[in-house]
Amino acid sequence: MRDHGKITFFDLRDRSGIIQVVAANLKKKPRLHTPVKVVGIVKERPVKLVNTKIITGKIEFELKKLTVLNQSQTLPFPIDNNGYNIDEALKLKYRYLDLRRRRLLDNLTRRSQMVDLLRRFLIKRDFLEVETPILTKSTPEGARDFLVPSRLQPGYFYALPQSPQQYKQLLMVAGVERYFQFARCLRDEDPRADRGFEFTQLDIEISFTSQEEIMNLIESMLVKMADQMKVKLTSRQFPVFSYQEAMNKFGADKFDLRKDKNSQELAFAWVIKFPLFEKTDDGGWTFTHNPFSSPYPEFESDLLQGKNINKIVAMQYDLVCNGYEVGGGSIRAHKPEVLEAVLKIMGYSSKQIKAKFGHMLEALAFGAPPHGGIALGIERLIAIIQGESSIKEVMAFPMTASGTTSVMDAPSQVTKKQLKELKLAIQKQPKS
Ligand code: ASP
């Protein structure tokens, strides 16, 4: 607000931006950040007063009537800058105010735009969008599970999904053929800038497919999305490296192919031919990416016999962009004996296999079609596109670095009554 005595200028803001309001003889000046109803006339500005720096700089709003709809306290921090330097705890406590800032509104807008484009692309190609459960059974993606106690079956727990991996494969057994979902995934890992407890994947699965078909599909989808969002691509054909080549050339399986590392373009590349297994610390074997991945056909007999385990190559493909892993997927083991062989090599007993994966082996035995899929990290993709180094900047309500939620203070204690209903006892009361 700028007060020139008889004339007052102020900026009227909504989601789309700002417009300058000109008010004559304003009796009561509204405070900053108050919601108002205005009646007046949109006019061209006198030539001398045109502001070329803003989109609405050629017009202004001549105020006739002003109604204040609510009052606002002084905000705890300014919202007319980029906000990077504000203390995280304060920023996330008042995340709804932080989100008023242009940069964050733009990030949410562009994210919504991207999701819309990806969804349209897939629907147009005959994919079915299907939701899968959030209260479910543990599915291994290499992270710790979040557990939810069951009230009706005390002592038993649901796990929140680390990904919809098993359900999407079951949808292939069901004959859905082409599935996608913007799926929330929950992994209890130490939160970092490029990782939180919760994230969203564009999750895809296809029946009767091949590695090439999936890679081509994703490539056309992302090229089209980049064009529509006016983002430059380093290469419209994504280069492909084997895991070995990538390790030899870049010393890592994620790398940045941009010539100028500060440029805003996207440099996608594929990494393929990952080993299916790696050694665990105690001398056993575990999966490198996904226990449901299939080996290349030439390794199937070794796998079934548990031979040359370190040499078995998986039909696994990762997508990297500007130094980050933005996606990964595989052609799956669609025959029960192949999945069972993988689980055996990982050291599961027959009893454990039955308890943990019996439902999958059973489902695959009902004529599961060959299938494969992929998942893309939505936050990581849009963060790269928006030039943000933390995925928190593209989430509406991210967590703090110590794993508490923004605005609402979770995790928090529950009442004795709730614990009793769940038949749970806390061994040591946490300090409140
Ligand atoms: N479930 C895998 C993941 O979350 C993706 C996939 O293989 O489709 O990384």
Q: Is the CB of 328 under 6 A from ligand 1?
A: yes
Q: Are residues 101 and 57 in the same domain?
A: no
- Asked whether residue 376 is assigned to any structural domain, the reply reads yes
pTM: 0.94
Q: How many domains does the chain have?
A: 2
Q: What's the 243 CA to ligand 1 centre distance in angstroms?
A: 17
CA-nearest residue, atom 4 of ligand 1: 163
- Asked whether residue 267 is assigned to any structural domain, the reply reads yes
Q: Are residues 138 and 15 in the same domain?
A: no
Q: What's 222-255 look like in SS3?
A: HHHHHHHCCCCECCCCCCEEEHHHHHHHHCCCCC
Q: Read off the pLDDT of residues 242-263 as tens digits, 9 standing for 90 and up.
A: 999 999 999 999 999 999 999 9
Q: What's the 419 CA to ligand 1 centre distance in angstroms?
A: 35
Q: What's the 29 CA to ligand 1 centre distance in angstroms?
A: 56
DSSP 8-state class, residue 124:
H
Beta strand pairing call for 178-186 and 128-129: parallel
Of 377, 394, 411, the position where a domain reaches its end is 394
CA-nearest residue, atom 7 of ligand 1: 329
Q: Read off the pLDDT of residues 109-155 as tens digits, 9 standing for 90 and up.
A: 999 999 999 999 999 999 999 999 999 987 777 789 999 999 999 99
Q: Are residues 330 and 372 in the same domain?
A: yes
- Asked whether residue 84 is assigned to any structural domain, the reply reads no
Look at residue 429 and give its three-state secondary structure: coil
- Name the nearest CA neighbour of 243 among 297, 311, 336: 311
- Asked whether residue 408 is assigned to any structural domain, the reply reads no
**Angstrom distance (rounded) from CA 117 to CA 221:** 9
Of 50, 68, 86, the position where a domain reaches its end is 68
Dihedral, 25, 26, 27, 30 alpha carbons, nearest 10: -170
**Ligand 1 closest atom vs CA 163:** 4
Q: Read off the pLDDT of residues 146-182 as tens digits, 9 standing for 90 and up.
A: 999 999 999 999 999 999 999 999 999 999 999 999 9
- Asked whether residue 177 is assigned to any structural domain, the reply reads yes
Q: Are residues 223 and 359 in the same domain?
A: yes
Taking only Cα atoms into account, the Rg of the chain, rounded to an integer number of angstroms, comes to 27
- Asked whether residue 414 is assigned to any structural domain, the reply reads no
- Name the nearest CA neighbour of 113 among 362, 332, 378, 417: 378
Dihedral, 33, 34, 35, 41 alpha carbons, nearest 10: -90
Q: Is the CB of 421 under 6 A from ligand 1?
A: no
- Is residue 40 a contact partner of residue 62, using CB atoms and an 8 Å limit? yes
Question: What tens-digit pLDDT sequence spans the chain (432 residues)?
Answer: 998 889 999 999 999 999 999 999 988 888 999 999 999 999 999 999 899 999 999 999 999 999 999 999 999 999 999 999 999 999 999 999 999 999 999 999 999 999 999 999 999 999 999 999 999 987 777 789 999 999 999 999 999 999 999 999 999 999 999 999 999 999 998 866 567 799 999 999 999 999 999 999 999 999 999 999 999 999 999 999 999 999 999 999 999 999 999 999 999 999 999 999 999 999 999 999 999 999 999 999 999 999 999 999 999 999 999 999 999 999 999 999 999 999 999 999 999 999 999 999 999 999 999 999 999 999 999 999 999 999 999 999 999 888 889 999 899 999 999 999 999 999 876 665
Hunting for tokens 């385990």 — which residue is that?
Answer: 309
Range of the domain at 28: 2-68
Q: Is the CB of 373 under 6 A from ligand 1?
A: yes
Q: Are residues 110 and 36 in the same domain?
A: no
Q: What's the 1 CA to ligand 1 centre distance in angstroms?
A: 51
Q: Are residues 64 and 108 in the same domain?
A: no
